[in-house]
Chains A and B, each alone.
Chain A
Amino acid sequence: MARDPKHDILFQPIKIGPKTLRNRFYQVPHCIGAGSDKPGFQAAHRSIKAEGGWAGINTEYCSIHPESDDTHRLSARIWDEGDVRNLRAMTDHIHKFDALAGVELWYGGSHAPCMESRSTPRGPSQYASEFETLTYCKEMDFDDIAMVQQYYVDAALRSRDAGFDIIYVYGAHSYLPLQFLSPYYNKRKDKYGGSLENRARFWLETLEKVRHAVGKECAIATRFAVDTLYGDAGIEIERDGMKFIEMADPLVDLWDVDVGDIAEWGEDAGPARFYQQGHQVPWTRFVKQVSKKPVLGVGRFTDPEKMTEIVTKGIADIIGAARPSISDPWLPKKIEEGRYDDIRVCIGCNVCISRWEIGGPPMICTQNATAGEEYRRGWHPEKFPKHGSDDSVLVVGAGPSGAECARVLLERGYAVHLYDTAAKIGGHLNSVVTLPGLGEWGYHRDYRELQINKLVKKNKASQVALGQKPLTAESALTYGAEKIVIATGSSWNTDGTNCLTHDPIPGANAALPDQLTPEQVLGGKKIIGKRVVILNADTYFMAPSLAEKLQLAGHEVTLVSGVHLANYMHFTLEYPNLMRRMHELKIKEIHNAFASRVEIGRLEVYDIWGDGSKRSYRGPGVLPREANKSHRWVEFDSLILVTGRHSHNGLYTELKSRSVEWTKNGVKDVYLIGDAEAPRLIADATFSGHRLAREIEEKSAQFPLPYKRETAVWGTAHMPGGRFEIEYKT
């Protein structure tokens, strides 16, 4: 199919300085956990997007010098020739697909803790980072300023040598140039502080120097947070924002604009729970009023209609995307070919981002299980190896894991029967999406549902059997499949079993009328009283989401949490606005507290740290601390147990115990995937289904094949021509 002509504008080339982007799709810099140390990962992940039609593709933030070392997080680095060699793999592979490669030159100031290099970061003034713990910078004198500006120039020259076409001076997310520009950080009284002209000086000089060094060969871009969202304590778009753009406009070839800072960068990478596609438009729309240069804007753009509107209305010239490009590296190609239904839409869960926040393990994606696996497992997001046998596969359970497994098996040409008791593909996601703000998570289900239904039409031996009776081991064995995949999911514990005591809580029982599991709440069949207590030992979204849902419905909710409530949502950048939401809804929280027993209408609560701080040996059967005497009763009309989950693996266990009957029934192997194997993130459940489908011909396909590792190799120096041996300077 051809694309709709109304989207033609997205495919018009656009000139940026000495370079030309072949269309308007542009992967803005975003972290993946590759940096300069995993060149294969970096090259494959970025170039798969070039193959998928993105015209410009960037590194993540790329440190220009050991003084800007973000360890424990993982940035790219272009400190020396060793980094140049490794990053060249990325530019070479991107260039094969007629796309431009960009590098985002980064100096963090006090937001770079320098835990590896042990250098001292420098900044416009001395301040403690609001993002890091215990990191101060040194206030720069004029010599320091000249020196750090030269770091940018040297890094730009190395970037040019590494084959980069677009060179950024990165000033969004509160990094150095913005620290000079913003009065929030810059308290100087000399020519680099005070008036806007003075505060802009560092950034403008740096752009000038970088432009002078590489501007003839490379396009110069700058990433600018046009509004830091602090009012007049920082940058406001209609004041300093637009004026700075006018001042810097002659020095840049491309404006890459966003909003917000680093400590709350979820205001930029807005999670779907709070922000919809295009959420930055009210700010970014001002940029083109003052700039004569190409402008790119971001805001989780996934819909070609919206993208077209952004360009035709003159809000931006180029569609910037990070998350949508991870979720679907072939987004531009699918639009170009008119395959709109095949777009794997980003759900805005920010699990990709969570990995950077955790400290740099390889990025994962809930929608795209191949993200981060391109190089090390050789997984292409859109191309699959043909089936390796004629075995037919029964997949029991059509949740995230089972549906993904079935989809990939079908793509590979296997005969697949996907079987579920529910009337709809999606598993537990079908109820999760009814929680406040999580509607877009349903795209995960929709993508698989649509693809599976298409594939089943073309693969006549396959079918999707929904609304079925629970499958017994006997009927699974005699179903006629050579391979059986069990993806029966998990559910919330009904007896209070939790990660703190690893035991049930006496009296906890969701079969009673006044106690509920999250599934029972979402099922809507059990009456919920006015005063609701949610007992929480889970660190993700369920407890706060239920609290919000029920408080909105008129209940009085108290959260009792024995773990850091919503801790994982720090990593997904949902935490700040979630806390604001809890606050504005007046949801009560008793934190650092858990429950010792439940009686009708009341919960015995104790403080986690209520036992004695002094530890001494007191003999067997006696705790080594003073007993916890903080116990007291909290009353409820309904108690919701968000204490932990357990796998539904009964079918698997029974099939396993009847393995002697496999051969006579023609069954070759039985597998366990997703939450049925162990409860986990939707992203990881999806991955486990995808992984099995890719490797199902292997002898022990239940267990993953080894992947290609990228590590430093003993005997090889990082620096070309360098030395690797242990050498003491004595």
Chain B
Amino acid sequence: MKILVAVKQVAALDEDFKIRADGRDIDADYLIRDLNEWDDFSLEEAMRIKEAANTPGDIEVVAVSVGPASVDESLRKCLAKGADRALRVWDDAIEYSDPIAIARVLAAVTMREAPDMLFAGVQSSDHSFASTGIATAAFLNWPHAAVVNMLNYTPGAKTAVLRRELEGGLLQELELQCPAVLTIQLGINTPRYASLRSIKQAAAKPIEMLSLADLHLVANDVGESGSSSRVRRMYLPEKGRAQLIEGDVATKARRLAEIIKEFRGQT
């Protein structure tokens, strides 16, 4: 039995940063990379299911990520925390893929690995689309649930019972047919830390590489041509638009009315 955990290496801004010359992203030199915070929780959830099973050795936790060689660092973190295997998919054509294109790749990996469950984070902390996991479910045509904050699942079972966070503080409990795609919310568990020993051991473990051909995909399935959206530009909003209106109440009211008129183009 197998649980596949899709993870992403996210980027965080360094103290100082610049926008890339094409204006569509941050210059990579100013980014600090790390495993997406949500993925710590989805990996931990998979590890707990494995460890709670009668024969944990029969359950395989596999981490997968789509990205260049630098992503190995995040996959090794998953291995250090106990994942049995790690897979990385890359081809230069994948660059500039949107979540839909990435989901197409993940769906292909899922078909190949045939897991009993696919976990992903609710969203990534950098781009926050919150769509990769659910889009993968769409490609697979699998049952799915987003924003899961409690899971009751025994590997091999035909259904899983889970709880989802909804708007307004509501919770929804549902039973879902397996295999399924679940996007896991922060706080569902307390992720473990890897010991130095397991970090060192993980450094020696292989990371399996998959190409587009291995997944029966072609270049047009990924990158901008395989995507449904395209980043036009990334920018910092203008600052300093707030202003303090001073004076007595009448003065303030008059000025406020003027500003509203200016804003509506009435002056």
Interface residues of A (CB under 8 A from B): 1, 339, 392, 394, 415, 417, 457-458, 460-461, 463, 465, 467-468, 475, 478-481
Interface residues of B (CB under 8 A from A): 12, 15-16, 32, 34, 73, 190, 193-200
Complex CA–CA separation, A459 to B200 (angstroms): 14
CB pair A481–B196 under 8 Å, yes or no, is yes
What residues of A have a CB within 8 angstroms of the CB of B34 in the complex?
457, 460
Which chain A residue lies CB-closest to B193? A465
- With most chain A CB atoms within 10 A of its CB, the pick from B16, B73, B197 is B197
What residues of B have a CB within 8 angstroms of the CB of A392 in the complex?
196, 200
What residues of B have a CB within 8 angstroms of the CB of A339 in the complex?
15
10 A-B interface contacts by CB (under 8 A): A1-B15, A1-B16, A460-B34, A460-B73, A467-B190, A468-B193, A479-B195, A480-B197, A480-B198, A480-B199
CB pair A415–B196 under 8 Å, yes or no, is yes
Q: Using A417-B193, A465-B193, A480-B200 as known contacts, list a sample of 13 further A-B pairs with CB atoms less than 8 Å apart, ordered by residue number in A.
A: A1-B16, A339-B15, A392-B196, A394-B196, A457-B32, A458-B32, A460-B34, A461-B196, A463-B194, A467-B190, A478-B195, A478-B197, A480-B196
Complex CA–CA separation, A460 to B12 (angstroms): 14
Which chain A residue lies CB-closest to B192? A465
What residues of A have a CB within 8 angstroms of the CB of B196 in the complex?
392, 394, 415, 417, 461, 479-481
- With most chain A CB atoms within 10 A of its CB, the pick from B15, B16, B194, B195 is B195
CB pair B32–A480 under 8 Å, yes or no, is no
Closest 3 CB pairs of A and B: A480-B197, A480-B196, A465-B193
What residues of B have a CB within 8 angstroms of the CB of A481 in the complex?
196
Complex CA–CA separation, A533 to B16 (angstroms): 55
Complex CA–CA separation, A1 to B194 (angstroms): 34
Q: Is the interface of B mostly helix, strand, loop or mixed?
A: mixed
Complex CA–CA separation, A460 to B73 (angstroms): 8
CB pair A461–B193 under 8 Å, yes or no, is no
Complex CA–CA separation, A479 to B200 (angstroms): 10
Which chain B residue lies CB-closest to A460? B73
Complex CA–CA separation, A461 to B203 (angstroms): 10
What residues of A have a CB within 8 angstroms of the CB of B190 in the complex?
467
Complex CA–CA separation, A480 to B197 (angstroms): 4
Complex CA–CA separation, A711 to B61 (angstroms): 65
Which chain A residue lies CB-closest to B74? A460
Which chain A residue lies CB-closest to B15? A1
What residues of A have a CB within 8 angstroms of the CB of B193 in the complex?
417, 463, 465, 468
Give the shortest distance, in Å, between A615 (CB) and chain B (any CB): 60
Give the shortest distance, in Å, between A477 (CB) and chain B (any CB): 10
What residues of A have a CB within 8 angstroms of the CB of B199 in the complex?
461, 480
Give the shortest distance, in Å, between B80 (CB) and chain A (any CB): 10
**A457: contacting residue among B12, B194, B198, CB under 8 A:** B12
What residues of B have a CB within 8 angstroms of the CB of A458 in the complex?
32
What residues of B have a CB within 8 angstroms of the CB of A465 in the complex?
193
What residues of A have a CB within 8 angstroms of the CB of B12 in the complex?
457
A458-B32, A460-B73, A480-B200 in contact; A417/B15 too (CB < 8 A)?
Answer: no
Give the shortest distance, in Å, between A312 (CB) and chain B (any CB): 17
Which chain B residue lies CB-closest to A468? B193
What residues of B have a CB within 8 angstroms of the CB of A463 in the complex?
193-194
Complex CA–CA separation, A643 to B100 (angstroms): 66
Complex CA–CA separation, A475 to B200 (angstroms): 16
What residues of B have a CB within 8 angstroms of the CB of A475 in the complex?
195
**B195: contacting residue among A1, A457, A460, A480, CB under 8 A:** A480
Which chain A residue lies CB-closest to B200? A480
Complex CA–CA separation, A475 to B197 (angstroms): 11
Give the shortest distance, in Å, between B179 (CB) and chain A (any CB): 33
Give the shortest distance, in Å, between B125 (CB) and chain A (any CB): 13
Complex CA–CA separation, A415 to B34 (angstroms): 16
What residues of B have a CB within 8 angstroms of the CB of A468 in the complex?
193
Which chain A residue lies CB-closest to B203? A461
- With most chain B CB atoms within 10 A of its CB, the pick from A465, A478, A480 is A480
Give the shortest distance, in Å, between A551 (CB) and chain B (any CB): 40
Give the shortest distance, in Å, between B243 (CB) and chain A (any CB): 16
Complex CA–CA separation, A556 to B208 (angstroms): 70
Complex CA–CA separation, A463 to B77 (angstroms): 11
Complex CA–CA separation, A479 to B190 (angstroms): 20
Which chain B residue lies CB-closest to A480? B197
Which chain B residue lies CB-closest to A666? B197
Complex CA–CA separation, A432 to B153 (angstroms): 44
What residues of B have a CB within 8 angstroms of the CB of A460 in the complex?
34, 73
Which chain B residue lies CB-closest to A454? B15
Complex CA–CA separation, A280 to B197 (angstroms): 55
Give the shortest distance, in Å, between A390 (CB) and chain B (any CB): 11
Which chain B residue lies CB-closest to A464? B193
CB pair B197–A479 under 8 Å, yes or no, is yes
Give the shortest distance, in Å, between B29 (CB) and chain A (any CB): 14
Give the shortest distance, in Å, between A455 (CB) and chain B (any CB): 11
Complex CA–CA separation, A665 to B66 (angstroms): 36
- With most chain A CB atoms within 10 A of its CB, the pick from B194, B196, B197, B199 is B196
Complex CA–CA separation, A478 to B34 (angstroms): 26
Which chain B residue lies CB-closest to A341? B15
Complex CA–CA separation, A370 to B195 (angstroms): 31
What residues of B have a CB within 8 angstroms of the CB of A394 in the complex?
196
Give the shortest distance, in Å, between A63 (CB) and chain B (any CB): 46
Complex CA–CA separation, A479 to B32 (angstroms): 27
Give the shortest distance, in Å, between A466 (CB) and chain B (any CB): 9
Give the shortest distance, in Å, between B51 (CB) and chain A (any CB): 15
